[in-house]
Chain A
Amino acid sequence: MTMTILTAILATAVTAGTPLLFAALGEILTERAGILNLGVEGMMLVGAVSGFASAYYTGNPWLGVAVAMVAGGLMALIHAFLSVTMRANQVVSGLALTMFGTGLSSYLGKVWGVVGNPFPNHFRPVQVPGLAEIPLLGQVLFHQDVLVLASFVLAAGIWFLLYRTRTGMNLRAVGENPAAADSLGINVFALRYLFTIAGGMLAGLAGAYFSLAYVPTWMENITAGRGWIAVALVIFATWNPAYAVIGAYSFGGIDALGFRLQALDIAIPSYFLKMLPYLATVLVLVLVSKRNLLARIGAPGALGLPYDREER
């Protein structure tokens, strides 16, 4: 396999992995606060359509990104209200959010009249001066659009936030044991709201990556189930942003790798490749399914459990 093909494979993996990374980073923040949000797919779709529509009508892709994040955040706010304030079942609420988001995004796309419209001013790959000259990795990591570059910074920032700041420590405490965190004076409700919304904003950004950089147009169900891969990715990454980067690029590269193997006449069933992300996630789950081990690798102890002050 020549160097150029290897570069092409890795570069595609990074591009295709970027929306997964955005969504997974968001879901990590949310789950670290103890809130399970299965509405990622729905939030991504709403982000994708609203981001695309605003960019399309103003010509400004950055405005599109901002609107997508706000839209994703608003979607997440619904989930936060239901699961934090109303203490509803988070699985049900998240699933409902995905169904709602899927329908809403189709509806909005029609109402706004943007289905399939081309948007010439979308994000395009740029050569980062200096860094793009690095052999192999330069073209893989630094000949990318600006959102991909932003995702590197974001992943590092979220890692730093989680493990090196007081807010991050509080956040992890809230996800681990909200009662204990509460007794230490941490505002459980505020943090859960904040990071559920932050997670939604990143899911919206992931959606905008599809409609403003990768595809780039709005089509109904444009994400084609990748929100679910992002949810699996969070478990695969054991709630750690650093592993999420690796996981996102591995999961993102699988499709392209399958096509490449076909083009080279190497017969590996594509169905096998398609199930790899889930298989890997199940494998990680099996490996870490011992309670103490699960706690050690980072699964928030109170994930999915509503917190009620009166009941502690």
Chain B
Amino acid sequence: MHRKRTWAVLLAAAMLFTMTLAGCGQEGAEPSGAEDSIKVGFVYIGTPGDAGFTYSHEQGRLYLVETIPNVETEVVENVADADAERVLTQLAESGCELIFSTSFGFMDPTINVAANYPDVKFMHCSGFKTADNVGTYFGRIYQARYLSGIVAGQATESNLIGYVAAYPIPEVIRGINAFTLGVRAVNPEATVKVVWTNTWFDPTAEKQAAQVLLEEGADVIAQHQDTPSAVQAAQEAGKFGIGYHSDMSANAPGAVLTSPVWNWGPYYVQVVQSVLDGTWETDSYWGPLADGVVDLAPFGDAVDEETQQLVETEKARIVNGEWDVFTGPIYDQDDALRVPAGEVMSDEAMLSMDWFVQGVQGNPKG
């Protein structure tokens, strides 16, 4: 009896944990009145309070609502991958004509639900599956990461830069590689040391990972996480940090050199407008720096004039299409030539990247 009860408790605990992850809240329905209005759904994996990925999409949604008067939005937060089909169906049933599903894990649910609602347009962020009424979109954040790498490479004195990273998947690996190429472009002596946290969101764990890197001698901490904890750890240690997702300078004043950021607003307006105009077509959009979907947050005070100049020059080269980050020669960790001189890596190769470039310390398998 006793034993049964204890097990039941543990089981219940496990169940609740899953449920908490799946718990969802709704908000943000603006009243519509005009004739030519459109209802747009947004599905978030987290909550806008994370200062990270969901926050950036929420900023985009707010921009959309401000820019197009007759748009009504419906938001569902904290949607677990397993719950996505139900949420997407619910949004489609409730009259949304366009639904942004903003997490990689929503890919298959989006495709499945889209098949049942051919009149509803779906835009899936960061995936690779499309259909007649499903488009994908993402940003070439690696370009901004490369620029932030230049800043870090200029700033480091110990020539060791720490990188707190979430999961060993191509998106994260691509970011680390682009960052490292930026670092090494200005400071060939520097190395980038990677620690995996295996979580997108855990302020405590992210901070601990950063602390370990700082104790190892890193004097700049970059990160691919959803919270500013890693840059805060850098600030507490009197070192520098590179934020991510949104401008994190307010979270660690004085310590943040810059942050690669998302800027979804104008893109969301463009997509909604195309649906209103009836010109929407399925597409795989991977927005570059030139479109402003990805960008670099304003420089911190610690970034000198020379570095700022250097970054602006490099940014201009990328924006005008003269050059892109993964242009050869690029060597991997084992000094093997991966991209021959003058060649530019294809999008397919970039999207399936599972190896580290020269200058990264760490295991690309996690």
Residue numbers of A with Cβ under 8 A of B are 4-5, 8, 12, 16, 36, 38, 41, 91, 95, 98-99, 102-103, 106, 109-110, 115-116, 118, 210, 214-215, 217, 219-222, 224-226, 228, 231-232, 235, 255-256, 259-260, 262-263, 265, 267, 269-271, 274, 282, 285, 289, 291, 294, 299, 303-304
Contacts and interface: CB of A to CB of B under 8 A. Distances in A.
Given A5-B215, A219-B51, A304-B9, A263 B203 contact: no
Nearest to B198: A270
Interface string B8-22: 111011001101100
Contacts of B212: 256, 259-260, 262-263
A107 B199 CA distance: 24
B195 A259 contact: yes
A215 B233 CA distance: 9
Contacts of B362: 262
Given A116-B251, A215-B232, A217-B251, A274 B23 contact: no
B291 interface: no
Given A99-B23, A214-B204, A220 B8 contact: no
Nearest to A223: B204
A214 B10 CA distance: 28
A181 to B, nearest CB: 19
B49 A220 contact: yes
Nearest to B19: A99
Interface string B196-221: 11110111110111011101100000
Interface string B245-269: 0000011110000000000000000
Given A116-B51, A217-B251, A270-B198, A38 B16 contact: yes
B17 A228 contact: yes
A185 B196 CA distance: 57
Interface in B132-167: none
Contacts of A98: 16, 20
Interface in B7-57: 8-10, 12-13, 16-17, 19-20, 23, 25, 46-47, 49-51
A270 B215 contact: no
Contacts of B227: 219
A214 B6 contact: no
Contacts of A289: 3, 6
Given A116-B51, A118-B251, A270-B196, A221 B201 contact: yes
B16 A12 contact: no
B207 A215 contact: yes
Contact of B199 (A99, A224, A235): A224
Given A110-B49, A274-B198, 16 more contacts: A8-B215, A106-B25, A106-B49, A215-B204, A217-B251, A221-B47, A231-B13, A235-B6, A255-B209, A259-B197, A259-B209, A262-B363, A263-B212, A270-B366, A285-B10, A289-B3
Given A116-B49, A267-B363, A271-B198, A41 B20 contact: yes
B23 A102 contact: yes
Nearest to A285: B6
Contacts of A36: 9
Contacts of B359: none
Contacts, number: 133
B228 interface: yes
A224 B208 contact: no
B204 A91 contact: no
A255 B197 CA distance: 8
B198 A118 contact: no
Given A91-B8, A221-B201, A99 B20 contact: yes
Contacts of B198: 270-271, 274
17 contacts: A4-B215, A8-B211, A38-B13, A103-B23, A109-B49, A110-B49, A118-B253, A210-B203, A215-B204, A219-B203, A221-B47, A225-B17, A256-B212, A260-B212, A265-B363, A269-B366, A285-B6
A75 B153 CA distance: 49
B23 A224 contact: no
B204 A219 contact: no
Nearest to B77: A106
Nearest to B213: A263
A263 B193 contact: yes
A259 to B, nearest CB: 4
A263 B195 CA distance: 7
